[in-house]
Amino acid sequence: MGFLDHLLDPLSGVGGVGKRLHRNAVKGEKLLREGGRAQARIVGIRVTPGGADSPDEQEYALVFTGDAGQTVRAGCRQPLGELLPDVRLGMEVPVRHDGERVIIDTPAMGAPADEGWGWKALGDPPPDGIVDYTFEREKEHRKGTEAVVTILAAERSMVLGIATANVDLGVRVAPVDGTPPYETTLKRALIPFYALHLAEPGTEVPGVVRNGKPDKVKIDWGAAAVTSPGT
């Protein structure tokens, strides 16, 4: 019995969710241990918001060369832990595979072996590009006006003197409807892992300004990272 069997065995009897989690973990551990090695390119990223007590989920579409020389496109859901801030669309990553299923080889990237515990093979990999459901694109465009947002400054948000994962962004906003450009600060913005390289002064990104609320600006980080993936 492998490490994940010991870790997750108590969950195997706790309803269907626990059983599925256990099965996927065991399969992922076996794939990491026995799967063929390859270099894969991340061609698609899909982010789904988690619930109140669960983190966002990240899914990847990976293209690699199989053992017989064939091109394989496969997908997986996999939390990458400490590696996540360095992941970018289009980057090359080591993987293990069986010709159909694939798992990002986190130990080969220097992460602890158990960081692939949330892995799941996907029958429907993400499409090419970035789909981020934490940004409600249709809703924002319905209630606002498109704008070009230029990053002027970026500083970690502070709470009680402690730096957080959020960022205070000084920005210049130029609505495409001809409204004169203006500057504002986006407090406690949360920049997705795939777009962290874009938080640099001078970077232009697409955004939406809420109608009648010029200080309420949402940046479309997914669209920005597809244009400038940072690899």
Verify that 110 and 54 share a domain, yes or no.
yes
pLDDT value at position 162? 73
φ, ψ of residue 7 in degrees (nearest 5): -65, -40
State yes or no: pLDDT of 149 exceeds 50.
yes
Residues 26 and 115 in one domain: yes
Query: What pLDDT band is residue 4 in, cutting at 50, 70 and 90?
Result: very low
Q: Report which of residues 136 and 196 the model is more confident about.
A: 196
Tell me, yes or no, whether 69 and 120 share the same domain.
yes
**Residue where a domain terminates, one of 98, 128, 158:** 128
pLDDT of 26 over the 60 cut: yes
Per DSSP bridges, beta strands 182-189 and 102-104 are unpaired
Number of independent structural domains in the chain: 2
- Cβ atoms of residues 66 and 99 within 8 Å: yes
Residue 140: pLDDT band (50, 70, 90) is: confident
Among 5-9, 117-121, 158-162, the least confident range: 5-9
Q: CB of 47 within 8 A of CB of 39?
A: no
Same domain for 143 and 98, yes or no, is: no
- 38 pairs with which residues across the strands? 95
Q: Dump pLDDT digits (tens) for 67-124.
A: 889 999 999 999 999 999 999 999 999 999 999 999 999 999 998 766 557 899 999 9
- Is the pLDDT higher at 6 or at 48? 48
The answer to whether residues 197 and 86 belong to one domain is no
Q: Which of 74, 109, 128 is the last residue of a domain?
A: 128
Do 16 and 58 sit in the same domain of this protein? yes
Phi first, then psi: give them for residue 66, nearest 5 degrees. -75, 175
Strand partners, 204: 150
Whether 121 contacts 94, CB under 8 Å: no
Residues 124 and 141 in one domain: no
Which region among 147-151, 160-164, 190-194, 226-230 has the lowest average model confidence (pLDDT)?
160-164
pLDDT at residue 5, rounded to an integer = 40
User: Cα 92 from chain centroid?
Assistant: 15
Q: Which stretches of the chain are DSSP H helices?
A: 3-8, 15-34, 137-143, 221-227
Q: Which range marks the domain in which residue 207 is found?
A: 137-227
In 3-state terms, what secondary structure has residue 33? helix
Look up residue 160 and give its DSSP letter.
T
Q: Are 148 and 207 in contact (CB under 8 A)?
A: yes
With 90 as the cut, is the pLDDT of residue 165 above it?
no
Q: Tokens 């990976």 sit at which residue?
A: 62
Q: What residues pair up with 183 in beta bridges, in sequence order? A: 172
pTM for the full predicted model: 0.86
Mean of all residue pLDDT scores within the chain: 87
- Tell me the sheet residues that pair with 61: 44, 75
40 shares a domain with 123:
yes
Distance CA 132, CA 150 (A): 21
Whole-number percent of the chain with pLDDT over 70: 88
Nearest to 122 by CA among 160, 154, 77: 77
Instruction: Say how many C-beta atoms besides its own lie within 10 A of residue 197's C-beta.
Output: 16
With 80 as the cut, is the pLDDT of residue 180 above it? Answer: yes
Question: Rounded to a whole number, what is the largest CA-CA distance in the chain?
Answer: 65
Give the residue-averaged pLDDT of 211-229.
Answer: 95
Give the confidence band of 164 by pLDDT, cuts at 50, 70, 90.
confident
Does residue 9 register a pLDDT over 50? no
